[in-house]
Amino acid sequence: MKYLIKAPEERLRASVQLPASKSISNRALILNALSYSPYDIQNLSDCDDTEVMVKALNSDSRDFDIKAAGTAMRFLTAFLSKIVGEWTITGTERMKNRPIKLLVDALNSLGARIEYIEKEGYPPLRIFGSALQGGEISLAGGVSSQYISALLMIAPLMEKGLTLHLEGNIISRPYINLTLQLMEQFGVKAIWNGQTIKILPQEYKPIRFTVESDWSAASYWYSIMALSKNAEIELLGLFKNSLQGDAAGAKLFAQLGVGTTFTDRGVVLKYNGNAVKKLIYNFVNEPDLAQTFVVTCVLLNIPFRFTGLQSLKIKETDRIEALKTELRKLGYLLTDSNDSILEWNGERCEPEADPIIATYEDHRMAMAFAPAALVLPKGLKVADPEVVTKSYPAYWEDLRKAGFALIEN
Ligand SMILES: O=C(O)C1=C[C@@H](OP(=O)(O)O)[C@@H](O)[C@H](O)C1
Ligand SMILES: C=C(OP(=O)(O)O)C(=O)O
């Protein structure tokens, strides 16, 4: 299936109930389980990545399929390794190619027993769960913060606790902060000093917990604001003092001329036209915002140099390659270097006559490209639009409510 997306014919006005954060939802579910909480998490995300987590935690089965959810794969691998029994965990073909060796090695050295069912270093896994000794280990900080979050959440339940020395550059750091902040809300303290995080044996306390709206999802509406210029957009359920690192998107979009006003129910966006001539930014802390900014910048004709993109190659797809390939179809030539830098200096090529944007089973490819319909006279065609359910199932419905036409073909 594909959608031809057409811009609203009238001035775009939208008050959007954003989805709940999947990063917070999936942590809260693990912490709720570890605290033996009698309460249900409020405002859980209804996205695929959270659905697979809920299913796994409530299932009687010993075999779990977490589909494409990176957080579920990493968090459940750690969680199951400390629950007595034999478990298997698998996912989509792409998941079977997303590395997990660093986490498996770390868990095995802390007393777990995890084996590879197919390819060494990758899911699917067979996990023989038992009480974990814990202790002191080193782990590279530059591949995926999800390995670190996964270890931290089970750390207080290890016999000796955990002392984790992070080696080298630490990527996606706000996600580690998010894990520690949520653990603290559930009654567990950690000490983070330089490159070392220490967690003593402790018990989690059950609490009543409500998930906030998703700042990564908000970024697509900021892009719509930047490209339509005269829209009226309100995004509900976002907070200024958010636990989410992607709240940084609000400040960064100010550089593309979009202002943010916080109200008691979310944010109101305003276009003020004060955009920079070139955007230079290091996305090491907000990798999930990179696609939104790449697409928005080229369509605003703002050259950019984005660094810190090293984790993009091992996400839902190789996002650096996917962005280059799909933007070439629209007439933009991007260059990459060092597996971590993507740049556009204004260079163009002949656009395809009837381009169809491929989405590579990556929700963020679909969501980041859709706003392009606002500036392309014939609209934009997007293949496999249903991929958005990974994090934002109501995305297309919300665009429709805002006045976009979505024609199936
Ligand atoms: O912990 C999390 O909730 C996430 C961490 C990030 O992954 P990496 O740490 O692999 O960069 C991010 O890209 C992902 O969408 C969600
Ligand atoms: C990278 C992402 O998810 P995950 O790694 O959890 O699959 C994402 O949502 O952009």
- Taking the CA of residue 216 as reference, the ligand 1 atom at the shortest distance is 15
Same structural domain for residues 300 and 396? yes
How many other CB atoms are found less than 10 A from the CB of residue 201? 14
- Taking the CA of residue 390 as reference, the ligand 2 atom at the shortest distance is 9
Nearest CA, atom 1, ligand 2 = 315
Point out the domain boundary residue: 208, 243, 275. 208
User: Residue 39: its pLDDT value, please?
Assistant: 98
Same structural domain for residues 13 and 98? no
User: Residue 409: its pLDDT value, please?
Assistant: 83
Contact yes or no for 111/84 (Cβ under 8 A): no
Cα–Cα dist 332/30, whole Å: 42
Residue 123, pLDDT > 90, answer yes
pLDDT digits (tens, 9 = 90+) for 326-359: 999 999 999 999 999 999 999 999 999 999 999 9
Same structural domain for residues 57 and 13? no
User: Residue 315: its pLDDT value, please?
Assistant: 98
CA of 315 to the centre of ligand 2 (A): 6
For the question of residue 288 being annotated catalytic, the response is: yes
Q: Taking all residues of the chain, what is their mean pLDDT, rounded to a whole number?
A: 98
**Residue bearing tokens 């698998």:** 90
Q: At a CB cut-off of 8 Å and minimum separation 6, what does 134 contact? A: 110, 111, 155, 158, 159, 160, 161, 162, 201
Burial (0-12, 13-18, 19+ Cβ within 10 Å), 33: middle
Point out the domain boundary residue: 152, 187, 208. 208
pLDDT digits (tens, 9 = 90+) for 232-245: 999 999 999 999 99
Same structural domain for residues 85 and 13? no
The whole model's pTM is what?
A: 0.98
CA of 359 to the centre of ligand 2 (A): 14
Same structural domain for residues 38 and 172? yes
Same structural domain for residues 9 and 107? no
How many other CB atoms are found less than 10 A from the CB of residue 113? 13
The per-type count for the chain, helices as H runs and strands as E runs, is 12, 20
Pocket flag, ligand 1, residue 71 (CB < 6 Å): yes
Same structural domain for residues 198 and 218? no
Task: Tell me phi and psi for residue 15, to 5 degrees.
Answer: -120, 110
Q: At a CB cut-off of 8 Å and minimum separation 6, what does 172 contact? A: 144, 145, 146, 245, 284, 285, 287, 311
What is the arrangement of strands in the sheet containing 356-357, beginning at the earlier edge strand?
356-357, 380-383, 2-6, 405-408
Same structural domain for residues 191 and 301? no
pLDDT digits (tens, 9 = 90+) for 263-316: 999 999 999 999 999 999 999 999 999 999 999 999 999 999 999 999 999 999
Same structural domain for residues 263 and 141? no
pLDDT digits (tens, 9 = 90+) for 38-62: 999 999 999 999 999 999 999 999 9
H/E element holding 48? helix 48-57
Please work out, in degrees rounded to the nearest 5, the angle formed at the alpha carbon of residue 312 by the alpha carbons of 348 and 278: 40
Q: Which residues pair with 343 in a beta bridge?
A: 305, 335
Cα–Cα dist 383/361, whole Å: 10
Mean pLDDT of 381-386: 98
From first CA to last CA, the distance across the chain in angstroms is 6
Strands (E), 264-325: 266-275, 279-282, 304-307
Determine if the peptide bond prior to 124 is cis (ω within 30°).
yes
Counting every residue written for the chain, the total comes to 409
Cα–Cα dist 293/136, whole Å: 39
Strands (E), 171-318: 191-193, 196-199, 232-236, 256-263, 266-275, 279-282, 304-307
User: Residue 386: its pLDDT value, please?
Assistant: 98
Query: Tokens at residue 298, please?
Result: 């080229």
Please give the single-letter amino acid code of residue 349: C
Q: Which residues pair with 281 in a beta bridge?
A: 306
Nearest CA, atom 12, ligand 1 = 288
Cα–Cα dist 188/27, whole Å: 14
Q: Report the percent of the chain where pLDDT is more than 90.
A: 100
Please give the single-letter amino acid code of residue 399: L
Point out the domain boundary residue: 183, 208, 233. 208
User: Residue 228: its pLDDT value, please?
Assistant: 96
Distance set, CA 2 to CA 59, 148, 286 (Å): 34, 37, 29
Query: Tokens at residue 228, please?
Result: 């339509």
Same structural domain for residues 93 and 169? yes
CA of 323 to the centre of ligand 2 (A): 16
Give the residue numbers spanning the domain of 356: 1-18+211-406
Q: At a CB cut-off of 8 Å and minimum separation 6, what does 152 contact? A: 162, 164, 176, 179, 180, 183, 190, 197, 199
Cα–Cα dist 8/304, whole Å: 28
Same structural domain for residues 193 and 299? no
Annotated active-site residue in 48, 214, 246, 288: 288
What is the arrangement of strands in the sheet containing 341-344, beginning at the earlier edge strand?
279-282, 304-307, 341-344, 335-337
Residue 315 sits in a domain of what CATH number?
3.65.10.10
Same structural domain for residues 168 and 28? yes
Q: How many domains does the chain have?
A: 2
Pocket flag, ligand 2, residue 144 (CB < 6 Å): no
Residue 259, pLDDT > 90, answer yes
